[in-house]
Chains A and B, each alone.
Chain A
Amino acid sequence: MTQMEEERLKLTEIQTLEGHTDRVWGLAWNPSTGADGVPAVLASCSGDKTVRIWQQRSPSSTSFDCKAVLEDRHNRTVRSCAWSPSGKQLATASFDATTAIWEQNGDDFECVSTLEGHENEVKSVSWNASGSLLATCSRDKCVWIWEVLPGNEYDCVSVLQGHTQDVKMVQWHPKVDVLFSCSYDNTIKVWAEDGDSDDWSCVQTLGESSSGHSSTVWALSFNETGDKMVTCSDDLTIKVWGVDIERLLSGDGTGSWRHLCTMSGYHDRTIFSVHWSREGIIATGAADDAIRLFSESEDHSVDEPSYRLLLKKEKAHGMDINSVQWSPTANRLLASASDDGTIKIWKLE
Chain B
Amino acid sequence: MASVSLSHHHFNVLRLPANLKMVDDIRDPEHPYSLEQLSVLSEDSITVDDKLGRILITFTPTIQHCSMANVIGLCIRVKLKDCVPSHYKVDIKVAPGSHADEEAVNKQLNDKERVAAAMENPNLRQLVDECLHSREL
The residues of A with any CB-CB pair to B shorter than 8 Å are 23, 47, 76-77, 79, 95, 120-121, 123, 139, 166, 168, 184, 215-216, 234, 269, 287-288, 318-320, 340
Please give, as numbers and ranges, the residues of chain B lying within 8 Å of A269 by CB-CB distance. Answer: 89
A47 to B120, CA, bound (A): 10
Extra contacts, 14 of them, besides A23-B116, A320-B89, A340-B86 (Cβ < 8 A), are A77-B116, A77-B120, A79-B113, A95-B117, A123-B113, A166-B114, A168-B113, A184-B111, A216-B107, A234-B111, A269-B89, A288-B89, A318-B86, A318-B87
Contact of B111 among A76, A77, A216, A320 (CB under 8 A): A216
B112 within 8 A of A: yes
Contact of B117 among A139, A288, A320 (CB under 8 A): A139
If A184-B111, A215-B107, A216-B107 touch, does A319 touch B87 (CB 8 Å cutoff)?
yes
- 27 examples of A-B residue contacts, CB within 8 angstroms: A77-B116, A77-B117, A77-B120, A95-B116, A95-B117, A95-B120, A120-B117, A121-B117, A139-B117, A166-B114, A168-B113, A184-B107, A184-B111, A184-B114, A215-B107, A216-B107, A216-B111, A234-B107, A234-B111, A287-B112, A288-B89, A318-B86, A318-B87, A319-B86, A320-B89, A320-B112, A340-B86
A293 to B117, CA, bound (A): 30
B8 to chain A, nearest CB (A): 24
Please give, as numbers and ranges, the residues of chain A lying within 8 Å of B116 by CB-CB distance. Answer: 23, 47, 77, 95
Number of interface residues of B (CB under 8 A): 11
A148 to chain B, nearest CB (A): 27
A341 to chain B, nearest CB (A): 10
The interface centre, meaning the residue of B89, B113, B117 with most chain A CB atoms within 10 A of its CB, is: B113
Encode contact with A along B109-124: 1 for CB under 8 Å, 0 otherwise.
Answer: 0011110110010000
| 7 interchain residue pairs of minimum CB distance | A76-B120, A121-B117, A95-B117, A318-B87, A95-B120, A319-B87, A77-B120
User: Is there contact, CB below 8 Å, between A287 and B120?
Assistant: no
Please give, as numbers and ranges, the residues of chain A lying within 8 Å of B113 by CB-CB distance. Answer: 79, 123, 168
Q: Taking CB as reference atom, which chain B residue is nearest A139?
A: B117
The interface centre, meaning the residue of A47, A121, A287 with most chain B CB atoms within 10 A of its CB, is: A121
A215 to B110, CA, bound (A): 12
Q: Taking CB as reference atom, which chain A residue is nearest B108?
A: A184
B98 to chain A, nearest CB (A): 21
Please give, as numbers and ranges, the residues of chain B lying within 8 Å of A184 by CB-CB distance. Answer: 107, 111, 114
Q: Taking CB as reference atom, which chain B residue is nearest A269?
A: B89
Please give, as numbers and ranges, the residues of chain B lying within 8 Å of A318 by CB-CB distance. Answer: 86-87
Give the residues from 78 to 137 in chain B that come closer than 8 angstroms, CB to CB, to chain A.
86-87, 89, 107, 111-114, 116-117, 120
A120 to B124, CA, bound (A): 14
User: Is there contact, CB below 8 Å, between B89 and A287?
Assistant: yes
A168 to B107, CA, bound (A): 14
Q: Taking CB as reference atom, which chain B residue is nearest A184?
A: B111
A312 to B112, CA, bound (A): 24
Please give, as numbers and ranges, the residues of chain B lying within 8 Å of A77 by CB-CB distance. Answer: 116-117, 120
Q: Taking CB as reference atom, which chain A residue is nearest B104?
A: A165
Please give, as numbers and ranges, the residues of chain A lying within 8 Å of B114 by CB-CB distance. Answer: 139, 166, 184
Q: Taking CB as reference atom, which chain B residue is nearest A166?
A: B114
Please give, as numbers and ranges, the residues of chain B lying within 8 Å of A76 by CB-CB distance. Answer: 117, 120
A120 to B117, CA, bound (A): 10
